[in-house]
Each structure stands twice: as structure tokens, then as C-alpha cells.
Amino acid sequence: MKSRIFLLICSVLILSSLVAQAQQKPNIVLIYADDLGYGDVSCYGATKVKTPNIDRVAAEGLRFTNAHATSATCTPSRYSLLTGQYAWRKSGTGIAPGDAALLIPTNRITLPGMLQRAGYKTGVVGKWHLGLGPKGGPDWNSDIKPGPLEIGFTYSFLLPATGDRVPCVYVENHRIVGLDSSDPVQVSYKDPIGTEPTGKANPDLLKMMYSHGHDQTIINGVSRIGYMSGGKSARWVDEEMADVLTGKVNQFIETHQENPFFLYFSTHDIHVPRMPHSRFVGKSGMGPRGDAILQLDYCVGEVMKTVDRLGLKDNTVVIISSDNGPVVDDGYKDYAVEKLGGHKPAGPLRGGKYSAFDAGTRVPFIVRWPGKVKAGTSDALLSQVDLLKSLAVLTGQTVGEGEATDSFNTLDALLGKDKNGRDYVIEHALNNTLSLVKGHWKYIEPSNGPAVQKATNTELGNNPLPQLYDLRTDLGETRNVAGENPQLVSELAAFLKSVKEK
Ligand code: NG6
Ligand code: CA
């Protein structure tokens, strides 16, 4: 009798723990690479560089061929990702200087805020580049806020802007890590500040020479955008950055393994300055850009190991993507151009980072959720602006009318149940040129912006005349067929106008 009761109790306990597991909301890990191109990983066709860890996630998950960042540069892409609104609706959301004020209003729905409401612990680790502090910028030597914690994150460990912008310090929650109060940080994006050498005046002190821009204060042998003084004990070491960030990610996952958690791992790789750890130096044969791809892939592997080791694999949605397309020379002489070999960072696409052509925004996008998302490939049209509403549906949250209005629920496409995804996607390029992808057509609005950005050798896709490409037969956007299709051009132009005016 006793043993029967014992057995019964055991089965009830096992059952209830199974039910609890089934009800537990899935963790979400979003690994957001910087400037990683459509053709930069082997599961998207790269052959000169191998990315086994990213490829493994793709093999176990769904690999999207037509997923887009909202913009061809970082700040606007991230703004849209986190708010569900196109950045181009709001002025001042272009590439942000390192002393910009927080760009996202604190009273607005955000992706992390929505998930926090759903009971998630929400962390961001890595590149921020959405401004910090009140109007006028932050006080670096005191509480740096508002920032991520005021827009829905429960934890943050940041590079305030980018790797190539000052201040070159980590900010954890509200404070610079390791700051000595007797050596305060000062930052200026106008006039030189302090007495430290600059790349322009002291190129002899550089580990890596700049090719354009990037000639101001030298930190760790690399001259940056912007001037900085002080904060010597707090300065990051570029070569250690990937390990530092990955360590923080793994710590966050360990700490919150019992909660549902959302972790936004915003890698510095493969943005400039490309200064990977010595373990990766020379390993790709493509110079620092290729080595940084290997380092990014390693970091993905380390995070996946943690997820597996903690038994979280089946209950964790992993998303890997990029904030914009690829660039080869983005301001440092790091031999990226010379050592490219036959590697095609944009794969079969035209343009790159900054560009209105598809390589500007069409990026790798992988979703893995074992048991829930069938492994394979999907051609569904996706935009990162939809993550907010889609993940709201996934986690049972409602988004008010008038909130995150550019975000659509495309959860079924993310989970592989809907093969089509969005009806259309809007792409934003450096000069604010907008494009519309609708079905197999790509329309680029007329723009007087430059056709080419010489410094980075990027075809920006600007043309004073309308452009129309049939992506089904001309993925590389080589034949502008606007002249032959005036009716279609005016329909697409009118449609784009209606989205702009929404
Ligand atoms: C550009 C920088 C480039 C990079 C980019 C932002 C110069 C000459 N170029 O202005 O190096 O930092 O801004 O990249 O300063 S992004 O991925 O964050 O959008
Ligand atoms: Ca970027």
C-alpha cells in the first residue's frame, strides 16, 4: 500500500513538473552581429571562411533567405528592432555619436519592456549605439541614465556606442565599470579634449592605421571617432572584448536559468576596429575581418554550449541575425580589401552596409527552437521590426493599438508555419533613401544622394530616377526595369508613400 502511495505521489510530481515545463515561456536569445553580411557565413554560401557554430544552429533551425534589418546602418536598425517603429519616422535616429542622449523614449513600448511585462528577465550585453542619458548626453562619471534599464532591460553591460567611438569603456547598468573617481572620463565630439595623442598627430603610435575618419583620440593603440580623456583604469582592451562580452552573456544565462529570460547579445564583431583575440589572428587567411568572423562564430558556440549545459536547449528560441549588411574597408587599414580573396561578403546581392541595394538590409537570419521549429530553409519575407509583435504573441502579451505600429505579427513565419511572411518590406539606407520590396519586385525611390560612397567603395543605390528590379530573375539588381513598367512603378511609389504617411 505504502509503495503504491509513494508511486502515485511520484507520478503526480513528475506530471506537474512536466506541465510546469510545458507552460514555462521559452527563453529568447537574440544574437545580433554587427555588419555581418548575407554571404559572410558558410551556411549562407561562404566558402573561404567557415562558421561551424552558426552553421550548426542553422542546421538545427530555420534559415531565412529573405529577412531584413530595417536599415543599412546600425542605430536606425536597432531603434526599429527595439521599438517596433521605423527609425526614419523620427529625426535624429541616424548613426549616433558616442555622446548622444538616449534615442528611445522611456514611455514607449519596447521589445524588452514587453517581455519584462510577460515575466522575463531581460538583458542586453554588447553594443548599444542608441544613446544614453538625458538631453545633452550623459554624465559619464555618475549615474548614466536613462538607458537600457529605463526602457525595459533588467540588466545591461554595454559598449555605449560602437567599438570605434569613444568613450572606450564598458557601462554596466548605470555605471562605467572600473572607473577611478580621481580620473574622470571626459568625452567630446567637437573640440579636442585632454592631452592624449590623436591618430592624426601621432600616427607612429598606432597599432593599426586608419584609412578614413577614425583619427582622433588613441585608445589601446587604435585611434577612434571622438575625443576622450581620463577613465584610464576603465578602458577596454579590444582584443579581449569578445571574451568579456561572452562571459557576461553566459553569466546572465546561468543567473536566470530558472526564469524565462530574454538576452540580447549585441556583438561588437565584425565591426571595425577588427581586433580579435590572438587565438584568431591569422586563422582565416582573410586578415582581421575574416578572423573577426571566426571569433563571432566561436562566441555563438560558447553561448550555445551554456544553453545546452544548463538543459535549456529545447526551451530556448535562438535567433541569429545582423544589424546591417557588410562593409570591407570601414575606416582602418586592416587588409580587409587586400585579403578578401574570392570571398563575397554580400553573397549574390548588390551593395552593402549603407546601401539601398539589397545587401544593405538583407542579412542572415536563423531561428532555432528544437521541437517547435522544423529545421530547414524559408524564403518568407521578414523584417526585424516585426519581432516585437511576433514575440508578444508568442509570450501572450497584447500590444495596444497605436503602439509599435510598424511591427506586424509574423510569428507563424518565424516558426516556419507560414511560407510567405510579410506582404512587403521597407528598407532604409544611409541617405534616408527608402526602398520597397513587394512580392518579387524591388522599388528604390528616386534620390539625389551619391551613387557611390568612395571611402568604403559602396554602391549606395541612389539614383535621381526611380529604380525597379525583379528580384526573382535579377537578385543582384543589375537591370533597372522601371522604364518598361511605368504603371507598376507608380503603384509601388504610391504604396511606399502610403506607408510613409501612415
Ligand atoms: C561611420 C564610420 C564607420 C562606422 C559607421 C557606423 C567614419 C568615417 N565611418 O560614420 O566606421 O562606425 O559610422 O557603423 O567615421 S554602424 O554599424 O554602427 O552603423
Ligand atoms: Ca552595424
Mutate which of 70, 71, 73, 130 for ligand 1 pocket (most atoms within 8 A of beta carbon): 73
pLDDT surpasses 50 at 18:
no
For residue 9, pLDDT beyond 80: no
Tell me: cis bond preceding 167? Omega within 30 of 0 counts.
yes
Closest residue (by CA) to atom 3 of ligand 1? 330
In the predicted model, what is the mean pLDDT of residues 145-165?
98
Ligand 1 centre distance from Cα of residue 71 (Å):
14
Q: For residue 83, what pLDDT is reported?
A: 98
Q: For the whole model, what pTM was predicted?
A: 0.95
Ligand 1 atom index nearest CA of 95: 19
Question: Of 80, 223, 271, 363, which is best to mutate to test ligand 1, by the most ligand atoms within 8 angstroms of its C-beta?
Answer: 271
Residues in the chain: 502
pLDDT of 266 over the 60 cut: yes
CA of 216 to the centre of ligand 1 (A): 14
**Grid cell at residue 231:** 577613465
Over residues 370-412, the pLDDT tens digits come to: 999 999 999 999 999 999 999 999 999 999 999 999 999 999 9
Residue that has been written with the C-alpha cell 537591370 in this structure: 479
Task: Give residue 21's pLDDT.
Answer: 47
Q: Is the pLDDT of residue 11 over 90?
A: no
* ipTM of predicted complex: 0.98
State in Å: Cα 39 to ligand 2 middle. Answer: 15
Counting atoms of ligand 1 from 1, which one is nearest the CA of 330? 11
Residue with cell 598627430: 201
Indicate the helix (H) or strand (E) that contains 18.
helix 2-23
Report how far residue 471's alpha carbon sits from residue 227's, in angstroms, rounded to the nearest whole number: 44
Residue minimizing CA distance to atom 10 of ligand 1: 95
Question: Measured between alpha carbons, how far is 177 from 170 in angstroms, rounded to an integer?
Answer: 6
> Which residues have a Cβ under 8 Å from the Cβ of 417 and sit 6 or more positions away?
none
State residue 24's pLDDT score.
Answer: 85
pLDDT of residue 74: 98
103 C-alpha vs ligand 2 centroid, how far in Å?
17
| pLDDT at residue 301, as a whole number | 99
Ranking 22-26, 177-181, 200-204, 458-462 by mean pLDDT, the lowest is 22-26
104 CA from centroid of ligand 2 (Å): 18
Q: Regarding predicted confidence, which is higher, 9 or 49?
A: 49
Instruction: Place 14 in a pLDDT band, splitting at 50, 70 and 90.
Output: low
Question: How far is it, in rounded angstroms, from Cα 251 to Cα 244?
Answer: 11
Find the mean pLDDT for residues 436-443: 98
134-152: average pLDDT? 97
- Within 6 Å (CB) of ligand 1, which residues are found? 34-35, 73-74, 95, 129, 162, 164, 212-214, 225, 271-272, 324, 330-331
**What are the backbone angles phi and psi of residue 435, rounded to the nearest 5°?**
-125, 160
User: Is it the case that residue 6 has pLDDT exceeding 80?
Assistant: no
What average pLDDT does the structure give for the chain?
Answer: 96
pLDDT tens track for 472-486: 999 999 999 999 999
Maximal C-alpha separation, the chain: 88
Extract the C-alpha cell encoding 271.
565591426
Where residue 17 falls among pLDDT bands split at 50, 70, 90?
Answer: very low
For residues 272 and 327, give the distance between their C-alpha atoms in angstroms, rounded to a whole number.
Answer: 10
Residue ranges in 140-273 assigned as alpha helix (H): 241-255
Which residue owns the Cα nearest ligand 1 atom 17? 74
Angstrom distances, CA of residue 403 to CA of 98, 107, 109, 280, 406: 28, 11, 7, 44, 9
Q: Are 366 and 58 within 8 A, CB to CB?
A: yes
19 — pLDDT class (breaks 50, 70, 90):
very low
The count of C-alpha atoms lying within 13 angstroms of the C-alpha of 487, restricted to the half-sphere facing its C-beta, is 0
Across the range 19-29, mean pLDDT stands at 74
